[in-house]
Amino acid sequence: MPTDLDANEVSMLAFRDAMAHLGAAVHVITTDGASGRAGFTASAVCSVTDTPPSVLVCVNRTSSAYAATIANGVLCINTLSAEQHGISAAFSSKQPMAARFEHGEWIERHERAPRLAHAMVSIDCKTVSRIPVGTHDILVCKVIELQTNTQPGVLIYYNREYHRLTHT
């Protein structure tokens, strides 16, 4: 039975314009291990279930951090505070990986991904499933440890710009 989805194709530009209107928290995803230390900025992060605690992260397969993120199998989702837009910009740039980690204060931990010291939330994970969709992989990750920090607000990406959402 045909549906409206079968009859209409959405253009890439129309899709991107529509998605720009979906505000999202900004995260820096880090990894470390045998395949090296790497990181990237992401807004496509979402809880999956609390039994067991799981999240998903979408990563572009052309990302310079992709190979290390997949091979290492561990990551840390660092949700940025309202004042950390510079860190997001560094991790979404073409800078070498080592230069990206010069932004912010990073806590190095044995067999764990680097944790951003003053992130709103840091979520340590192990990748348990990888689902290829178009240009990206959806990583389903089991939560291993959580760290929360008191910050005055969170960094949001909306309409192709950073915005600070703060407590009133």
DSSP string covering 37-79: -EEEEES-EEEEEETTEEEEEEEETTSTTHHHHHHH-EEEEEE
Range of the domain at 149: 4-166
Q: What does the pLDDT read at residue 89?
A: 95
Round the average pLDDT of the chain to a whole number and report it. 92
Question: For 117-148, how does the pLDDT look when each residue is reduced to its tens digit (9 = 90+)?
Answer: 999 999 999 999 999 999 999 999 999 999 99
- Cα Rg, the chain, nearest whole Å: 16
- How confident is the model over 41-71, as pLDDT tens digits? 999 999 999 999 999 999 999 999 999 999 9
- pLDDT of residue 1 exceeding 50: no
What pLDDT is attached to residue 68? 98
Q: Looking at residue 20, what is its pLDDT?
A: 86
CATH number of the domain within which 75 lies: 2.30.110.10
Q: How confident is the model at residue 4 (pLDDT cuts 50, 70, 90)?
A: low
Predicted pLDDT at 126: 98
- What is the Cα–Cα distance from 165 to 96, expressed in whole angstroms? 30
Q: How many domains does the chain have?
A: 1
% of the chain beyond a pLDDT of 70: 95
User: Rounded to whole angstroms, what are the CA distances from 114 to 78, 83, 142, 148?
Assistant: 9, 19, 17, 15
Identify the DSSP state of 119: -
In this prediction, residue 3 has a pLDDT band, given cuts at 50, 70 and 90, of low
